[in-house]
Amino acid sequence: MTWQTFAFLIVASGAFGYSGYRFSILYKLMKHHQGKAFRLNNLPARIQTVIINILGQQAVLKKRAAGIMHTTIFWGFILISLGTVEQFISTLYAPANFEFIGQNLYSLLVKVQDFFTVAILVAIAYACYRRFVIRPEGLGKSRDANIVLTFTGALMVAILFMNAFHILGQQPWYASAMIFSEPLSRWIANLNASQETYASLGTFFKWVHMLIVLGFSMYIPSSKHLHIVAAGPNTFMRTLSREKGMKKINFEEEGIEQFGTGKVTDLSWKDVLDYYSCTECGRCQDLCPAYNTQKPLSPKALILDLKENMYRNKQAILAADYASVTHVIDEHVTEDVIWACTSCRACEIACPVFIEHTDKIYDIRRSLVMMEGRLPAEAQTVMKNMENNFSPWAFSPSDRANWAEGMNIPTMAEDSNVEVLLWVGCAGSYDDRNKKVLRSFSSLLRKAGVKFSILGTEEQCTGDAARRIGNEYLFQTLAQANIDTLNRYRVKQIVTACPHCFNTLKNEYKDFGGTYEVFHHSQYLARLIQEGKIKPTKAWDETITFHDSCYLGRWNNIYDQPRSVLQSLPAARVVEMKNHHDASMCCGAGGGRMWMEEKIGQKINVARTEQALETKAGIVASSCPFCMTMLTDGVKGKDMQEKVRVLDIAELLDQSV
């Protein structure tokens, strides 16, 4: 055994032993979390998403420049790691190498590795330029990132010099394949040193190379670059579909003493995997409407603060002493942080490693509301209205069908033999502005010859606001009452003009025995136009900009249909705001925020209205009652109501038919 072999065995054993120990602690912390998480369905789709998003880096490449940088480093490391493994093996047994794959293939491998060594250096240079010169706000300052950039840059330099001195000292047959190291060796040859000196320097840089790799393996478990290990499994375990409902609580299950998340250990092992996967890239923060209007919520900081809370409680968690684990609400994750969320889901859609931020916020709210009774005063009023009036508004349930007076729209009790049930929703029933939208939509259904009915006074609030504020019990009470009514009439198809009702009916009622084919009115209208049942004829000589509802777009991937309705209007000019589709900015009303005052920072609806006004459009089109209310208030707040109108797509289409 040579001294190099012996030394390597000692150093590598220590490094990998320490790294393995740290990883075992991380695994045990995951294992001690009590929440449930099952994500092993549809294995072919899960394998496909790993191939596309890990190997193909699709999600990372949504940001082109930063994505190319990351992809270069990712693939470069994979290929260069083959060389590192070869160095490790040859240190243990000198004759061992990968040349058995054949001269041509080995020469190609060497060439590719040499190319990526320099490509990674270029990518590191861009990363430093971005971090220290451009300095995107979401990226923030990170000593951890600086250390890793230094590690990586030093490793590439060590590999280049190792190769160059290796060429001079041992003159391998494949030297000409090293497109960068070989020219570097010719430059170094000007030193006119002996072949033995070059060989010794080659060995020195080989050790520098190996020690940096071993040091990096020890550093990974305690750094943000833990994501290079966790991101793959987290992507595999992701929620596969764009559509998703909140997790159901089984109130009848025996032994449950905690509803929601009061301590970090009430979350699941998948939530911990989310912490480990965070790259701290800041893409979630860049699009967060709360953060961008000076609220205390940063989705990135939330994940890091929850992880820090877990680390602070490490000893209690590992000892399964859950009673000693501190509350999830602390000096970092405050109640203001939790209540600032509009549940727009911009953070989740932007995240390149598929972290699910909203689930954690929902679960913390559930504990605050159901276990501790801690919620904003306005939210308490909303809960009381929903309990007494089956609506967030303080109107009598007997007035729910008054919006349809004079239209002769039958109720399901009067005629259930219809093509589709029109789900009106609370806004369409009680809000004067949105009553007009429902009348326009009903008019269009009539003109298209669609036979439909409503539930009338039998309809209750879907419970969306109650669930997202955190009162799961109230939500389930309302949901079960509605499902019983719908199933009694054997309803198959439902159409609604409210994205919040649409999402709840489509994605959440199925967990409680309510499975229906649910359409948003934008989908239904687009289909009626395509089938020729509605033919817009009146010209709209206007510039129109469309605001994407979060619960239509990011929650259900419906972007094209509302735009196709607008594009069908003769003479209309449809323009986009600077933030649209997945990058659209929330109106500020989701997640129960519709009924809560904004007391911190700029109002979200005003910020979004400013983006709409920048387009110089005369009409701001929406497809959501909450968005319409928030944008209308925003236009009034900017004193632009004489120049800019806020209209629903159904109103625009109805006036054109």
| Domain range list for the chain | 3-31+63-222, 264-371, 377-530, 543-656
Average pLDDT estimate for 382-402 = 95
**Given this chain, do its domains 264-371 and 543-656 carry the same CATH topology?**
no
Q: Which residue has the higher pLDDT, 174 or 344?
A: 344
Q: Is the pLDDT of residue 455 over 80?
A: yes
Q: Are 603 and 618 in contact (CB under 8 A)?
A: no
- Model pLDDT, residue 183: 92
Cα–chain-centroid distance for residue 511? 23
Residue 506: both structure tokens together: 């489509």
- Model pLDDT, residue 97: 84
Q: Are 560 and 554 in contact (CB under 8 A)?
A: no
Residue whose token pair is 């909303």? 382
- The model's pLDDT over 255-293, given as tens digits with 9 standing for 90+, comes to 788 999 999 999 999 999 999 999 999 999 999 999 999
| Dist CA 430 CA 245 (whole Å) | 26
Average pLDDT estimate for 221-244 = 94
Q: Is the pLDDT of residue 619 over 80?
A: yes
Q: Which CATH number fits domain 543-656: 1.10.405, 3.40.50, 2.40.128, 1.10.150?
A: 3.40.50
Q: What angle do CA 245, 400, 509 make, to 5 degrees?
A: 15
Q: Are 383 and 469 in contact (CB under 8 A)?
A: yes
Average pLDDT estimate for 56-78 = 94
- The model's pLDDT over 457-486, given as tens digits with 9 standing for 90+, comes to 999 999 999 999 999 999 999 999 999 999
- Model pLDDT, residue 39: 75
Q: Is the pLDDT of residue 36 over 80?
A: no
- Model pLDDT, residue 257: 85
Q: Is the pLDDT of residue 35 over 80?
A: no
- Model pLDDT, residue 502: 98
DSSP state of 398: G
- Model pLDDT, residue 555: 97
Residue 42: both structure tokens together: 């549809």
The second-level CATH assignment, the architecture, of 377-530 is 3-Layer(aba) Sandwich (3.40)
Residue 582: both structure tokens together: 């997945």
Q: Is the pLDDT of residue 171 over 90?
A: no
Least-confidence region, from 90-104, 156-170, 301-315, 411-425? 90-104
- The model's pLDDT over 405-414, given as tens digits with 9 standing for 90+, comes to 999 999 999 9
- The model's pLDDT over 545-561, given as tens digits with 9 standing for 90+, comes to 999 999 999 999 999 99
Cα–chain-centroid distance for residue 382? 28
Q: Is the pLDDT of residue 496 over 80?
A: yes
- Model pLDDT, residue 40: 80
Least-confidence region, from 88-97, 226-235, 240-249, 621-630? 88-97
Least-confidence region, from 92-101, 330-339, 558-567? 92-101
- Model pLDDT, residue 301: 97
- Model pLDDT, residue 256: 84
Per-position DSSP letters for 543-561, written without gaps between them:
EEEEPPPTTTTTTT---HH
Superfamily of domain 264-371: Alpha-helical ferredoxin (1.10.1060.10)
Q: Which of 152, 147, 83 is nearest to 121 (CA)?
A: 152
The CA-based diameter of the chain, rounded to the nearest angstrom, is: 102
Q: How confident is the model at residue 4 (pLDDT cuts 50, 70, 90)?
A: confident
Least-confidence region, from 97-106, 154-163, 330-339, 389-398? 97-106
Average pLDDT estimate for 67-77 = 94
Residue 593: both structure tokens together: 């925020």
Residue 144: both structure tokens together: 């951890």
Q: Taking all residues of the chain, what is their mean pLDDT, rounded to a whole number?
A: 94
The count of other CB atoms within 10 Å of the CB of residue 657 is 16
Q: How confident is the model at residue 579 (pLDDT cuts 50, 70, 90)?
A: very high
Rg of the Cα atoms in the chain: 30
